[in-house]
Amino acid sequence: MSKAPTSHLFYQSRQGRPVLDQAKGVYMWDVDGKRYLDGSSGAMVCNIGHSNPRVLEAMRQQMEKSTFGYRLHFETEPAERLAAKTASLAPEGLDKVFFVSGGSEAVESAIKLARQNAIATGEAQRYKVISREPSYHGCTLGALALTGYAPLTAPFDPMMRPMPKIPAPRAYLDGLNANDPATGHHYADMLEAKILEEGPETVLAFIVEPVGGASTGALVPPAGYMQRIREICTRYGVLLIHDEVMSGGGRTGKFFAAEHWDTAPDILVISKGFAAGYAPLGAMVALKSIVENVLNDGGFLHGFTYAGNPLACAAGLAVLEEIETSDLCANSARIGRQLKAELEKLMDRHELIGDVRGEGLLLAFELVADRKTLAPLPAEWGAFNRLVDIAYENGLIIYSRRTRGGYSGDHFLVAPPMISNEDHVSEIIDGVDRSLRQLEAELPAERAKAS
């Protein structure tokens, strides 16, 4: 396997991946010609697959016109068109769009807009943003303060203002029926309790992923949860922020995941699949009334050099057109149902699989030591890293995280591009099955006997 020569680049401690040569559709090839099925769309980014010719052509045409225009000097046609298209896809009333370059920037923008709205409306005492644990909302310090994932946040705690957290609605771990609205209300009412504990007059917003991302492994909320948190936020004048950085863009079978529950936030953020990896792009979309409050009070004290970059916006617009014309939301729903059903069948072959969850093509499975108690595998076994490496050797890319707050538990996101078909489902399932068999063969002898 050809590897990159000694480099001045660094990303993380783990090394040893091959050099990428090319990518097309759902596949990627290294410089030695080995093919990999991109079973996680990178980091749940490449929603429409790699090297789409229509998107590339749209980018080429824009490059011939301009690749940069500073937002305070010029308005650009791609930005205006993409903003209009995004607003048309968002819930009614959310028609003001602010472009950024990624998910962390989008979350930072949302909490800053929310804070400035509070100041503009005479409620400067509101500053607390409640989030869930576990959760992940970005790597910048503002977004990290909202994140409930201690391995990522603990080193920076002295640099951040702590923000209140409530438990994520992981009904499967608590032995509750996720299909019972009483379960959803049980978890949602924790938000109301936290608002009252903190003092409603101090709470600015609640941020939530409608379908969970990496920290909870495609967690789908229990019945009644999304509607109840909307009611609670409205009751106490708390802004509701939907983090659709990962779930937005059609991956769950709807363009925005919250459409599954017919609920609307006051502010939403999107990135990743928004431009599907063709250019760095994200957006914050907000209610017109919030934006007008802030603009009338002196303007939005926030911004990024590359916000509304015309090349990125041209790419994003072409991606949205591809999603629409190829009906990729419907394909994501259809192929997602098949893939989830096949992952569930693997539970009959592998006692290690304790849960399969998700919506559309944002799916995950979780490994456990005991399916009855859902006790996690011993953390020192490092299964969340090892299975990814085995699958990678087998030509399948999946994405892992620690399930239980970042320190133990092992879940794996399976989220191939929305252009996937039945043959790709079979290939993914074969790769997961084979990789799990290899992992099981490596487990300590006492665990292997127990299985």
pLDDT at 4: 54
Mean pLDDT of 239-245: 98
Give tens-digit pLDDT for 384-393: 999 999 999 9
* pLDDT (mean) for 54-70: 97
Say which residues have a Cβ less than 8 Å from residue 366's Cβ, sequence separation at least 6.
Answer: 217, 353, 354, 355, 356, 357, 403, 409, 410, 411, 412
Half-sphere exposure of 124 (CA within 13 A, CB side): 4
Per-residue pLDDT band at 449 (split at 50, 70, 90): very low
Amino acid 395: pLDDT: 98
353-359 and 362-367 beta bridge pairing: antiparallel
CA 321 to chain centre: 21
Compute CA distances 59 → 6, 42, 307, whole Å: 33, 21, 17
CA dist 290 and 123 (Å) reads: 13
Please, are residues 205 and 238 in contact by the beta-carbon 8 Å criterion? yes
Structure tokens at 57: 């052509």
pLDDT (average), residues 293-298: 97
Measure the CA–CA gap between 62 and 264, rounded to whole angstroms.
34
Structure confidence at residue 443 (pLDDT): 86
> For residues 449 and 396, is the Cβ–Cβ distance under 8 A?
no
pLDDT digits (tens, 9 = 90+) for 153-162: 999 999 999 8
Mean pLDDT of all residues in 124-147? 97
CB neighbour burial string for 291-304, b if at least 16 within 10 angstroms, e if fewer: bebbeeeeeeebeb
* 445: pLDDT strictly greater than 60: no
Q: Using alpha carbons, list the distances in angstroms from residue 415 to 22, 43, 208.
A: 20, 9, 20
The confidence score (pLDDT) of residue 444 equals 78
Residue type, 230: R
Average pLDDT estimate for 120-140 = 97
pLDDT of residue 405: 84
Q: Which of 120-129, 139-148, 326-335, 399-408 has the lowest mean pLDDT?
A: 399-408
Alpha carbons 273 and 261: distance in angstroms, whole number: 21
- Residue 448: the pLDDT is 45
Q: What amino acid is encoded at 137 in this protein? A: H
9 secondary structure, DSSP code: -
Instruction: List, as one string, the DSSP characters of 73-101.
Output: T---HHHHHHHHHHHHHSPTTEEEEEEES
* 72/210: higher pLDDT: 210
**pLDDT surpasses 70 at 424:** yes
Whether residue 146 has pLDDT greater than 50? yes
| pLDDT score at 12 | 60
Structure tokens at 416: 């191939």
- Residue 3 confidence (pLDDT) above 70: no
| pTM for this predicted structure | 0.96
Chain centroid, CA 252 distance in Å: 11
**Band (1; pLDDT cuts 50, 70, 90):** low
Residue 289 is which amino acid?
S
Distances from the Cα of 439 to the Cα of 167, 226, 340, 368, angstroms: 31, 37, 21, 13
The Cα-based distances of 107 to 114, 145, 282, 392 in angstroms read 11, 11, 10, 31
Single out the residue of 197, 72, 168 nearest to residue 404, CA to CA: 168
Distance between CA 269 and CA 247 in Å, rounded? Answer: 10
Mean pLDDT, the chain, rounded, equals 95
Q: What is the pLDDT of residue 450?
A: 44
